[in-house]
Amino acid sequence: MKYAFAVFATLASFFSNNSVQAEEVRIGAWNIEWLGFPDKRGRPGKDVEQNPVDLANYISESKVDVLSLEEIGVDNKTAPWTSKPLQKIFDELKSKHGQDWQYVLFDKADYPADTEDFIVRGQHTGLAWRTDKAKLVGQPFSVPVGSNETYGNKFWERRATAVKLSFGEGKTDVVFIPVHLKSNRNDAKPDDKDFTKKQRLAEAKALTGHFSSLKNALKDEDIVILGDMNFLAPDDDAAQVLIDAGFKDLNQDDQGTTAAWGQGYSSAPFDRIFVPQKQAEFEGAKQTIHRTKNGTDDEIKDYKKRFSDHYLISCVIQIGNDDD
């Protein structure tokens, strides 16, 4: 049956300050819990393989044109990266919703030969876009954050990769950086209660510290960082690093984006979109969380079982004449 969703915006809708009539494009991010590895999913989704029809309907209902992807399982242990479960979703979007999509998936850290398969092939990040709305410019750029280890764990295990999309000749180009920062699971240093926050802080500093090489390579100032930040808001210092680098957190009021229900549980504000602070295309952007229709415990439990432990988030940006 078709699954119904409601859209909850963190703030009101926006208006353009551009003198030229601008087009609107909806961009989003979704952590599709362990796509391709159902045995790794948490309850009640454990061992439940997500149905591409469900996922395609949800993406279509969100009306996104560009989508950051997190936790995507890939088919092989070496590039080029492909994903049969992900491709089934886009095949469904084409056949049932008339939408043509293209996607790229990114490298993870280098692993020793004996590393378990689910670590090597699971939880890749990527970017997807509707081909009638955007075109790829050049090739994805792996941000040179380095390969050192921080606090005993791999540094940027899910590598930061930038993709530049064009929304039309002479129109706005945008560089998207899908991210999945260090999770809040702390097996490496359980005595250090701030371990994961330190890791995310180091990752944010490394990313912003290499913006000059990123901008030089892709020749664009319109940068959007989006995805699963895993921030333990409001005391995660990594968010401030991005703000100090000239970005606005569209989830600055820490709205929950994870599927949680029942007494004693709360939705975590992990998923976020960071846009440039002082650029007209992004001035009015507000984050939307695509939650279940009524927000009942039964709905949320069903969503987590069939879809993911994260909701899709999105915002609208305006596409005008390119200014950089």
Query: Do the strands 23-35 and 66-72 form a parallel or antiparallel pair, or are they unpaired?
Result: parallel
What is the C-alpha separation between 114 and 109, in angstroms, rounded?
14
- Using one digit for the tens of pLDDT, what is the confidence trace for 59-96? 999 999 999 999 999 999 999 999 999 999 999 999 99
Domain that holds residue 165: 8-319
Q: Looking only at Cα atoms, what is the longest distance across the chain? A: 58
Query: Which whole-number Å values give the CA distances from 134 to 24, 27, 100, in the listed order?
Result: 12, 11, 11
* Angstrom distance (rounded) from CA 177 to CA 66: 12
Q: Is residue 202 part of a domain?
A: yes
Residue 205: HSE in the Cβ half-sphere, 13 Å Cα cutoff: 10
In a domain, 2, yes or no: no
284 falls within a domain: yes
In a domain, 314, yes or no: yes
In a domain, 25, yes or no: yes
Look up the CATH number of the domain holding residue 308.
3.60.10.10
Comparing 322 with 238, the larger pLDDT belongs to 238
pLDDT at 4 over 60: no
Computed over every residue of the chain, the mean pLDDT equals: 91
pLDDT greater than 80 at residue 141: yes
147 part of a folded domain:
yes
**Which stretch of DSSP H or E encloses residue 59?**
helix 52-62
Flag whether 144 is in a domain: yes
Q: Tell me: the pLDDT tens digits for 265-295?
A: 899 999 999 999 989 899 999 999 999 999 9
Q: Are 175 and 220 in contact (CB under 8 A)?
A: yes
**Of all residues in the chain, what percent carry a pLDDT higher than 90?**
78
Are 201 and 237 a contacting pair, CB within 8 Å?
yes
Q: Total structural domains in the chain?
A: 1
Residue 324 lies in a domain: no
Confidence of residue 14 (pLDDT cuts 50, 70, 90): very low
Sign, CA dihedral 197-199-200-201, equals: positive
